[in-house]
Amino acid sequence: MKKLFSLFLLLFSVTLWCQEDNSLLVNKNTFSFRDGYLISRPFHSIYDTTGWLWIVGQNKLSNEYILGEQEIIIQRFDGAHFFTLKLPDTSNKKIREGHFIKKTANGLYLKLYYQAERADIFFLNTETLEIKAVKEYNDLNKNYLNSKAFTGADTNHIVLTSNEKFYSAILDNLSLRFIDSTPFTRPVAQPVLADPITMDDFTLIKLQTEKEGVLLNTEGKFIKKIAESDFETTNGINFYPTVIRTPFKVSDAFYTYVDNYKNAFKFNKEFNKFVEVPNTDGILRKNEELQFTSDFNYAFSTEIMGDYTAMELYRLKDFQKELLTKIKVKNFSEFAYNEFTKDLVVLNENTLESYSFIKGKIKTFLKNKSVRSIKKLKENKYVIATDTEGFYKIDVKENTEERIKILSDTTELNINYSRDIFNGKDNNLIIAESNNLYTLNSNYEIVQDKTIKIHSGEIVKLKDTLFTADPSGGIYKYNLKEHSYIKIAKTDTVQVKEFATDGSRLYANTIQGIFEYENGSFNIYEFENVETHDLLSINYLNDYGILLSTKFGEIYTFDTATKKLNLLYEDELNASIFGMVADDTGTLWLNTYAGIVSFDPSSEQIIRYTTKDGVYELKGNSFSTFKDEQDGSILMGSYKGLSYFKPEELVEKNLNIQPQFTSISFFNSDKGQWMINTSPDFLKKTSEIVLPSEYRRFSATISVLGQTNPQDIKYRFRLLNYESDKQWFTTFPGKELLYANLAAGTYVLQVEAYNISKQKLGERIALKIISEEVFYRTWWFALLLFLSASFTILYLFYQYKIKQELFAKNEIALNDAKTKNTMMLEIHHRIKNNLQIVSGLLGLQMAKSTNKELKAKLQDSQSRIESIAGIHNLLYNSNNQDLISVRENIEKSVAYYKKLFPINARYRLDIDGSILSIKQATPFALLLNELINNSNKHAFQETEHPEIFIKFEKRDNKYVFVYFDNGSFKKQESQKESMGMKIIEMMNKQLKGDLKIENATNFKLTLLFPTNE
């Protein structure tokens, strides 16, 4: 199916190619926005010295529908890919147009015209793609109004004007060097320069609308002013020209067309003037514009023809021009060419048309006529038999073809379907049709006495015998000496397709098989590997023997010893093969149903020639393949003409073509971004790229810059690594090679270029790619990981050992602590019990005593002992033997005093969750005991509803204790000396607190002491 599709494309490729009568082939390729061409309005285009096309114009992607707001960009074109460059900073000057100025090597000048300001010039390095301003020009005084640049032998000249002068200068990279100046005859308000007229030794510079002009020499010196006397007609009339057209050269003299004069004007070097030359009106027509090649052998013209522009390519000789080809393009198009007569680029809006002009090496004769058989007459001349239109004589040198009138007496005889033509005696020709065998004399008249009736479908000559075949069956032989015509016995059922002979034996391709005849006997052979009805053509060639082709594009050699067929060639398109000849090098040339094919068995190189190579009709015809044994020329017939070529001229050799990378894109770790590298300088210096582990992908584009159409190239590529040799893959122009997610390692990208004939072009190119390993897979990371793991294990083992030691010590400490804790609990318990005993003893003493004052003192002592015992009781019943809850301590003290005193006092408590150490809890408990005891004893004798308020809270880094009651306070002189106050002050000092007592009406005590945190 793929082969049928390929054949379909091949057969219909004629729609893209055309061949003119002069054998100049034109190939056209069209590019637009979808192909990467972003310019919607091209200003100018030019080729640099390396074959890149540069285009400056408006960016289609920027404000396409807003007049005057489009971005101006530069694009480079390698024949298949477009690459975009931004213009340099123009300080917000709005660009209205741009123009390139060609430099001889590694650079171009770019001239930008602004809407308001004067134009600037920039130097564009075509190797590095850097664009720098030519400041010496851009900073010129504004008196310099206009300029035009032109290229000399190795120099970029520029001519400038002011209102009063011409100035000559030289552009040298970023510098501008003035050479000469000359004044105008009178000041000019708008001195607009015409295009320079450059000749070998001089350049003519003039203003467009004023009679001001000068001649410059090659050094840029003004040598003469142009006057009316410098232009002279054949009548001796002098005049000052308005329009001087592009000059051209004939026999070392320069000519130009001036104004509307039909004849050309010759530049007289001796007098430095132009003189009209009669009879030189054969080159330029009215309204035409001509451009010439550097050798002035070719030119193309442009002429507006209504709604299109006609472009005509000419070959020039003296003052005559020969039209080579003509194409139609849109009006107002821009043009550029790299090598004149070989390529042309036409730009119009967002369309780029690339034309390739190829000199056809295959000539076509007898177009639209079905060619059947061929015979050489004499040098460069051949006689051709057609199927239905008689015989023709062609001259391959003069490119002429002439119909032959075959006369029988005075009547023209139409002879068609002649299968072969033979040479007879006395320059006679022997031809045959289906029923008759004719002999023609040198005037193509039938020799009547040599005409015989025959049965002829096919015919062949073996020595002095003609063998013919009846299409319905039977083989006959006619002896040219004896004039006898007989049937070969037992051949009634043999139906011959085509004859062949090796000079001694007769062979035929028949429906029954291969027919072999010698000395009156014959055999017919059938084969296991080929069906006989598939055999198509047979021929004998010295280097190959008997060859047979099939309708499926196979060629077999017939082994006369084993009587077997051996496969020699298989057509990749399975196109039927109608004829086979070998050139002087042994290369086979095949007339197929899909063009002409050459096959070299020694190298296995196969080249197919089709319409783009000059083959007018792809479908070959049987019995019409012929080799001229004298000069090696080959003629091949088809249903629509005859192709003529010389094999040594057809095969292209030593093409100056080399594939090259035109872009390499990858992530640049140094710059931290994806980079598309297109500068020739980078591409030439780069043979290796490194892909960081986090961006292991890259892409590349390839093109050829040389003597070929890039669109006719196909590439094969492969990515190799140290593990295996991978197979080749095929890609086509305009495609990008992209590789992503590469495994770590070293690779080599190899690319080869081949033309449509499968010829390898130039040398193989290669790019080394190093794909870095992810850091955790690198050897240094593995070593670091091993060392880290080892250190960690050692550290953990060390820590484990330390922890084991600490655990042992901790166990000992815990056991000690438990022992001490148990001992402390026991101590607290015993202290509490002892204090309770003391309290009980005091209680007994107090019960026995009758002295009230003693009882009171014993009661005070008992309450103080109970306070201390309460502290130890709390410690004994808590989980922490060092800390006491203030709330719990106060609540238990209040409960104790409620039972102790008969006064039904109300206690208001406002206590937070503060915790006191035993060092603070004991003095605080004694202090509280004294306060509650004092209130109950002395404050409420006259109070109906006694209340005691107790507040305790933590505020910042201090504890705040507030105590007051609503009892009646009576100051006593001996208060400070009382035992209770002494205890309060002592406890305050022990707590390191700040004590404040307010006792105007009620008693209020405020104590602030530190938290000891």
Query: 436-452, pLDDT tens digit by residue?
Result: 889 999 899 998 888 88
What is the rounded average pLDDT for all residues in the chain? 86
Q: In this structure, what are the phi and psi dihedrals at residue 64, rounded to the nearest 5 degrees?
A: -60, -30
> pLDDT tens digits for 283-310?
776 666 778 887 888 888 888 888 888 8
482-488-489-495 Cα dihedral, nearest 10 degrees:
-160
Average pLDDT, stretch 761-766? Answer: 90
**Are 256 and 274 in contact, with CB atoms under 8 Å apart?**
yes
The neighbour count for residue 758, using CB atoms within 10 Å, is 12
Contacts of 498 (CB under 8 A, 6+ apart): 458, 508, 509, 537, 538, 622, 623
For tokens 């484990």, name the residue: 800
pTM: 0.67
Amino acid at 908: R
Produce one character per residue of 730-752: b if its CB has 16 or more CB atoms within 10 Å, e if not.
Answer: eeebbeebebeebeeeebebbbb
From the options 3.40.630.30, 2.60.40.10, 3.90.226.10, 2.40.110.10, give the CATH code of 659-771.
2.60.40.10
Average pLDDT, stretch 797-815? Answer: 84
Write down the pLDDT at residue 825: 57
Find, among 699, 702, 688, the residue nearest to 664 by Cα.
699
Average pLDDT, stretch 723-751? Answer: 87
From the options 1.10.940.10, 3.30.379.10, 3.30.300.30, 3.30.565.10, give the CATH code of 884-1013.
3.30.565.10
Taking the alpha carbons at both ends of the chain, their separation in whole angstroms is 94
> pLDDT tens digits for 908-960?
999 999 998 888 888 888 888 888 888 888 888 888 889 999 999 999 889 99
Find, among 765, 658, 682, the residue nearest to 126 by Cα.
682
Write down the pLDDT at residue 889: 84
Q: What is the DSSP string of 440-507?
A: E-TTSBB-GGG-EE---SEEEEETTEEEEE-TTS-EEEEETTTTEEEEPTT-TT--EEEEEE-SSSEE
- Categorize the per-residue pLDDT at 359 as very low, low, confident or very high, splitting at 50, 70 and 90: confident
d(CA 299, CA 313): 6
Dihedral class, residue 553 (left if φ above 0, else alpha if ψ from -120 to 50, else beta): left
Q: Which of 70-74, 386-390, 871-875, 886-890 has the lowest mean pLDDT?
A: 871-875
The neighbour count for residue 557, using CB atoms within 10 Å, is 17
> pLDDT tens digits for 569-622?
999 999 999 999 999 999 999 999 999 999 999 988 888 988 878 898 999 988
> pLDDT tens digits for 925-938?
888 888 888 888 88
**Are 479 and 493 in contact, with CB atoms under 8 Å apart?**
no
The more confident residue out of 620 and 983 is: 620
Write down the pLDDT at residue 16: 34
Is pLDDT of 1005 > 60? yes
Is pLDDT of 657 > 50? yes
Task: Look up residue 65 and give its two tokens.
Answer: 């529908």
The more confident residue out of 995 and 657 is: 995
The more confident residue out of 570 and 807 is: 570
Average pLDDT, stretch 836-850? Answer: 74
d(CA 60, CA 350): 8
- Categorize the per-residue pLDDT at 971 as very low, low, confident or very high, splitting at 50, 70 and 90: low
- Categorize the per-residue pLDDT at 270 as very low, low, confident or very high, splitting at 50, 70 and 90: confident
- Categorize the per-residue pLDDT at 393 as very low, low, confident or very high, splitting at 50, 70 and 90: very high
